[in-house]
Amino acid sequence: MIPGRNFPPRRQNRRENVNESIRAREVRAVFPDGTAEVMPTAAALRKAQELGLDLVVVSPTAVPPVAKAIDFGHYQYELKKKQHDAKKKQHVVQVKELKFRPNTDDHDYDFKKNHAIRFLQEGNRVKAVVQFRGREIAHTDLGKKLLTRFAEDLSTHGIVEGTPRMEGRNAHILISPAKAKESKKETTSAPPPE
């Protein structure tokens, strides 16, 4: 320990559910040759060590817990690989926000509309917000008209969730990608197999 530092000593990393750490009295042991049998943990551990392998609990919630005789390092590698592949395949849907003012020019409107189309094609949701500053709050009808026009222009690319709503000094509307909603409808409205 370094003088002047009051760090607690490091605890050794103890592997849970591996070899001697297994707390269950008996396990359903699965061996590389395909045999599976319920046996006391100590006997299963002895048999795994004779084969030069580790005994790893792969299903701790089962009764009795399922333990495999495998190489623990290889098992950890396979787990990390599966997690990495699952993470790579998932798509997180984000809400992209576009801000307008009640007197937004046509060019700016078209520019932001094209951004919204791109966001929807990528599978993200779009939130269009009209901000009212100062005396503009007296003309909320202009903001709502702008949002309904925006929703109509994007109706081919996305599905509008509700009508324009006011929240404080902002009016907003949400638009979801069309393909996500269509795939849900297809799965729910498919006729039952005969």
| Structure tokens that stand for 126 in this block | 């779009």
The amino acid that residue 174 corresponds to is L
Question: How far, CA to CA in Å, does 106 sit from each of 4, 78, 86, 97, 101?
Answer: 67, 55, 43, 19, 12
Q: Which of 180, 140, 174, 172 is nearest to 154 (CA)?
A: 174
Q: Which of 84, 154, 147 is nearest to 117 (CA)?
A: 154
The whole-number pLDDT of residue 9 equals 63
Q: What pTM value is reported for the model?
A: 0.52
Q: pLDDT higher for 70 or 2?
A: 70
Angle at 38 between CA 76 and CA 23, to 5 degrees: 55
Number of neighbouring beta carbons within 10 Å of residue 175: 24
The whole-number pLDDT of residue 184 equals 47
Cβ atoms 70, 44 nearer than 8 A: no
User: Whole-number mean pLDDT of the chain?
Assistant: 84
Cβ atoms 116, 154 nearer than 8 A: yes
Which domains are delineated in the chain?
A: 19-73 (3.10.20.80), 95-186 (3.30.110.10)
> Per residue in 146-187, pLDDT tens?
999 999 999 899 999 888 899 999 999 999 998 754 444 444
The amino acid that residue 182 corresponds to is E
Pairing state between β 125-131 and 66-70: unpaired
Number of neighbouring beta carbons within 10 Å of residue 90: 7
Task: Tell me how far the alpha carbon of residue 163 is from its chain's centroid.
Answer: 28
The whole-number pLDDT of residue 132 equals 92
